[in-house]
Amino acid sequence: MKVLKFGGTSVGSVENMLNVKNIINDGSEKVVVLSAMSGTTNQLVAIAKDITEHRGDVAAEKVNALHVTYNQVIDELLTDAALNAKTKTYVSGVFNFLLGCTSKWTAELVENQIVAQGELMSTYMFNSFLQQEGVNSVLLPALNFMKIDGFKEPDVQYIEENLQVVLSESGPADIYITQGFICLDDAGEISNLQRGGSDYTATIIGAAIKAEEVQIWTDIDGMHNNDPRFVEHTNPISDLSFDEAAELAYFGAKILHPQTVNPVRKDSIPVRLKNTMNPEAHGTLISSKTSETGIKAIAAKDGITAIKIKSAHMLQAYGFLKKVFEIFETYQTSIDMITTSEVAVSLTIDDDKNLDKILAELDKIASIEVDVNQSIVCLVGHAVVNHQDTFRLFQILQDVKIRMISYGGSNNNISLLIDSQDKIKTLQKLNSYLFEMAAV
Ligand code: ASP
Ligand code: MG
């Protein structure tokens, strides 16, 4: 069985939903994971914020406006009167629930309850549409099997056992439709896999049912070798290894949730990235195969904070780094890049929620310099650290100020830390010299 995930734009208009139907309706059994309609999750996040911050009236206005939009989509999508009415009743139930959410609940409960509704509605609507078109489909409620543990990792055993039960109770069908993104937490409360989490849902399910393949359908022809928002002439990458894909997803290639390949890597289940608007295109195949092609892709991640920690105590001493790392551990902040010299260590974080507390602790043991608005530019490719192109890097980047560099941490990645205002220039220069082979 295959698992196919369709993102927000794929279910964002009636025309696109028709495309999705044509892609999935080939008579073979499959699980289809859906995101919320595009834009919905952002709107739900805003509504949750209004409620928590006591702007109930503003929230109610937004809820009612969204309800009108959903009814319009349903009218366009469902010409069958009975299915139309049934779906509108379901959606009305959701919007009434939203109107009843209150600032008396914790902010977390409000947000988790509210953002989950996007996927619940898109799957209900799409399933109704398939029924109308005579497709043999059934809904699998994700909250009956998808669960994370206390570390926010998928609870693999729970998921495998419960998914089997849900599948056998609701089948047989050609198409099993389920919600991406949403899950239960370890206390059984409604939660989610973080923004963009539907990709992760697809590979978690893929691993749980030992799928032959997971397909992630979006609105672009696979993962590109540079960021198409900032650079012209980017190309889709046809093949990536799991390691390369993981580095790219983490370091800013927005197309994939950063955890996506983790669940399927162990069983080498391939992940194919495809374009709903152009199904014939090859897309990107992520698998256990590697190919020796030097630098395959460049990605950038913004919002990075760099911290330089300087201490005379570091000189020929041991245990200093341990103290530093313990501070980050206490505040549950993960470190991305790190470089050291004999008297200083520089590192980067992307989550600055606890920055003040971290700095206060570090201040007790060292002197500190902080740079905000930094970007990590990451070059990825199999054995990239050994490849001949790599030695051209410094020539290429002569006029970009590199704040830190990480080389050799893994064979597949070289990371540069730069000021965010130099990012576009850096991406463009790297693109023209590495992929368009302009002379240095
Ligand atoms: N709807 C969620 C989001 O917008 C999850 C997803 O689309 O993957 O983040
Ligand atoms: Mg996404």
Cα 400 to Cα 191: distance, rounded to the nearest angstrom: 42
Dihedral sign, CA of 210, 216, 221, 224? negative
- Asked if residue 342 has pLDDT above 70, the reply is yes
Cα 134 to Cα 138: distance, rounded to the nearest angstrom: 12
Å from CA of 254 to ligand 2 middle = 7
Question: Does the pTM of the predicted model rise above 0.75?
Answer: yes
Reported as a single tens digit per residue, the pLDDT across 388-426 is 777 778 778 888 899 999 987 877 888 999 999 999 999
Instruction: Locate CATH 3.30.2130.10 in the chain.
Output: 297-439
Query: Does the C-beta of 118 come closer than 6 Å to ligand 1?
Result: yes
pLDDT band at 316 (very low <50, low <70, confident <90, very high): low
Cα 267 to Cα 108: distance, rounded to the nearest angstrom: 35
C-alpha distance from residue 240 to each of 226, 265, 272, 288 (Å):
14, 12, 10, 8
Q: What is the pLDDT of residue 213?
A: 97
Check: CB of residue 239 under 8 Å from CB of residue 272: no
Cα 284 to Cα 222: distance, rounded to the nearest angstrom: 5
pLDDT band at 439 (very low <50, low <70, confident <90, very high): low
Token readout for 173 is: 């069908």
Query: Candidates 42, 198, 255, 273: which one to mutate for ligand 1, based on the most atoms within 8 Å of Cβ?
Result: 198
Q: Compute the average pLDDT of residues 315-343.
A: 88
Query: Does the C-beta of 195 come closer than 6 Å to ligand 1?
Result: yes
Å from CA of 285 to ligand 1 middle = 22
Q: What is the pLDDT of residue 438?
A: 57
**Ligand found nearest the CA of 11:** 1
Instruction: Locate CATH 3.40.1160.10 in the chain.
Output: 2-219
- Asked if residue 45 has pLDDT above 60, the reply is yes
Q: Compute the average pLDDT of residues 290-302.
A: 84
What superfamily does domain 2-219 belong to in CATH? Acetylglutamate kinase-like (3.40.1160.10)
Å from CA of 123 to ligand 1 middle = 13
Atom of ligand 1 nearest to the CA of 119: 1
Query: Does the C-beta of 154 come closer than 6 Å to ligand 1?
Result: no
Which range among 78-87, 124-133, 248-257, 373-382 shows the weakest confidence by mean pLDDT?
A: 248-257
Cα 7 to Cα 203: distance, rounded to the nearest angstrom: 14
Query: Does the C-beta of 197 come closer than 6 Å to ligand 1?
Result: yes
Check: CB of residue 31 under 8 Å from CB of residue 176: yes
Query: Does the C-beta of 196 come closer than 6 Å to ligand 1?
Result: yes
Q: Which residue, among 26, 73, 19, has the nearest Cα to 277 in the 3D structure?
A: 19
Reported as a single tens digit per residue, the pLDDT across 193-244 is 999 999 999 999 999 999 999 999 998 899 999 998 899 989 999 999 998 9
Fold type of domain 297-439: VC0802-like (3.30.2130)
Check: CB of residue 417 under 8 Å from CB of residue 375: yes
pLDDT band at 373 (very low <50, low <70, confident <90, very high): very high
Diameter of the chain by CA atoms? 78
**Phi and psi based region of residue 437 (left: phi greater than 0; alpha: psi -120 to 50; beta: remaining):** left
More confident residue, 171 or 104: 104
For tokens 């980050």, the residue is: 328
Reported as a single tens digit per residue, the pLDDT across 76-112 is 999 999 999 999 999 999 999 999 999 999 999 999 9
Check: CB of residue 84 under 8 Å from CB of residue 75: yes
Reported as a single tens digit per residue, the pLDDT across 374-383 is 999 999 887 7
More confident residue, 394 or 268: 268
Q: Compute the average pLDDT of residues 171-175.
A: 91
- Asked if residue 367 has pLDDT above 60, the reply is yes
How far out from the chain centre does Cα 202 lie?
12
Q: What is the pLDDT of residue 240?
A: 92
- Asked if residue 440 has pLDDT above 80, the reply is no
**Phi and psi based region of residue 316 (left: phi greater than 0; alpha: psi -120 to 50; beta: remaining):** left
Query: Does the C-beta of 12 come closer than 6 Å to ligand 1?
Result: no
- Asked if residue 355 has pLDDT above 80, the reply is yes
Cα 382 to Cα 288: distance, rounded to the nearest angstrom: 12
Report the nearest-CA residue for atom 5 of ligand 1: 196
Å from CA of 105 to ligand 1 middle = 23
List the alpha helices (DSSP H) in 133-273: 156-170, 198-208, 242-250, 262-265
pLDDT band at 38 (very low <50, low <70, confident <90, very high): very high
Token readout for 353 is: 């929620």
Q: What is the pLDDT of residue 313?
A: 72
Check: CB of residue 350 under 8 Å from CB of residue 301: yes
Q: Compute the average pLDDT of residues 37-48.
A: 96
SS3 318: coil
- Asked if residue 432 has pLDDT above 90, the reply is no
Check: CB of residue 118 under 8 Å from CB of residue 48: no
pLDDT band at 253 (very low <50, low <70, confident <90, very high): low
Cα 425 to Cα 440: distance, rounded to the nearest angstrom: 15
- Asked if residue 349 has pLDDT above 60, the reply is yes
Å from CA of 118 to ligand 1 middle = 9
- Residue 137 β-bridge partners: 175
CB-neighbour burial class of residue 143 (10 A; exposed 0-12, middle 13-18, buried 19+): middle
